[in-house]
Amino acid sequence: MRLGAALTILAPVAAFLALLGLGALLPAIRDVLNLSLPFFGLIGLGFMCGRLMQIPEEGLRWMNFFIVYVALPALFINLISVTPFAQLRNWPFVLSTTASTFAAFVLAFAVGMIATRGLVRESTIAGVGGAYANVGYMGPGLTMAALGPPSTVPTALIFVFDSMLLFALVPFMMALAGEKTSVGATVKLVVTRIVTHPFNIATAIGVAMAYFQAVPPPPVAKMLSFLQNAAAPSALFVMGVTIALRQVKRLAPELPAILAVKLILHPLIVWTVLSYVGDFGREWTFTAVLMASLPPALNVFVMASQYQVYVERASSTILIGTLVSVATVTALLYAIASGAVPYRLFHP
């Protein structure tokens, strides 16, 4: 059993090593592989460990707590606090990317409505699967590696406002579908989730520090630096383990359409809208496109489990979406790194 699982994991690794040989001949491909292989390799390593060791998922709780409540918030605080405050008020960018995410949700929700013959609760989770990119675990590490420090602010803004949008949409859609909760309870749930999310709190602290140009004491700054460096590797490894522990018994017929929305249409919508609205610069535009190109977030499964609907299909959406994104995200990284595409598709 373990040998078979190991061979299953090693086959794609061997394919990647073959591509690495090709990269030696083509510098642009080599540069992209040097970026994407360690990134997806950490996910693959976590996946392999999860499949081989079969440690119960409960064992990840403290690791997930460390990532979500300690390491990634430290990353956001450290990077946003040194950003010029004026960059944090880019409302045209925020409105454009958030509207694009909403458009992706509507498209995936429509797919769900067709597939489920009008079941709103199931279609809502399908909509989240097509719109909620893995901007927390995968976003900061990838955008920083691909585009450098200028990607920090757009990464944080997209995470905060996309999360606010989807944290608000899901409870209200479930209430609309007949969930037995009052309007007041729904509003309280939405506000609580937004206000208490550790990433949003960390972003608010970073913004305040940027506004007042506050600098933490040297020991605190050193500790934040340690945590920042641990954030991306820990998140990617745990993500791989979590995916490995998901049980997928069958694939839903609407899965290809939902993943097409998430991995292809969502980034294209973001790219098109930003190109139409204005010139946001190469780093900001490509950060938004990369964030939109990421596979469905683990929160899709969390939301499905909370409402006890679309759970198995949510799990398969995350697993298959992450596997397919190895190809789609790497292709996008190549297009960006090689200069094959302009950051602005057209000038209105």
Q: Which residues of 68-91 are buried (b: 16+ CB within 10 A; e: fewer)?
A: beebbbbbbbbbbbebeeebbebe
Q: Taking all residues of the chain, what is their mean pLDDT, rounded to a whole number?
A: 86
Question: Topology of 2-337 in CATH?
Answer: Na+/H+ antiporter like fold (1.20.1530)
Mean pLDDT of 91-107: 97
**What is the distance in angstroms between the CA of the first residue and the CA of the last residue of the chain?**
57
pLDDT in tens, 232-243: 899 889 889 988
pLDDT in tens, 57-74: 787 888 889 988 999 889
Q: Is the pLDDT of residue 99 over 80?
A: yes
* pLDDT-above-90 percentage for the chain: 46
Mean pLDDT of 78-102: 90
Who wins on pLDDT, 101 or 247? 101
Q: Is the pLDDT of residue 110 over 70?
A: yes
Q: What pLDDT was estimated at residue 83?
A: 80
Euclidean distance between CA atoms 163 and 165, whole angstroms = 5
The Cα-based distances of 90 to 84, 105, 193 in angstroms read 12, 23, 24
Q: Is the pLDDT of residue 10 over 70?
A: no
Going by C-alpha positions, the residue among 198, 233, 219, 238 that lies closest to residue 77 is 198
Listed in sequence order, the residues at least 6 apart from 213 whose beta carbon sits closer than 8 Å to its beta carbon are none
For the chain, the domains span: 2-337
Most confident of 119-133, 182-196, 310-324: 119-133
Listed in sequence order, the residues at least 6 apart from 24 whose beta carbon sits closer than 8 Å to its beta carbon are 30
Mean pLDDT of 292-311: 90
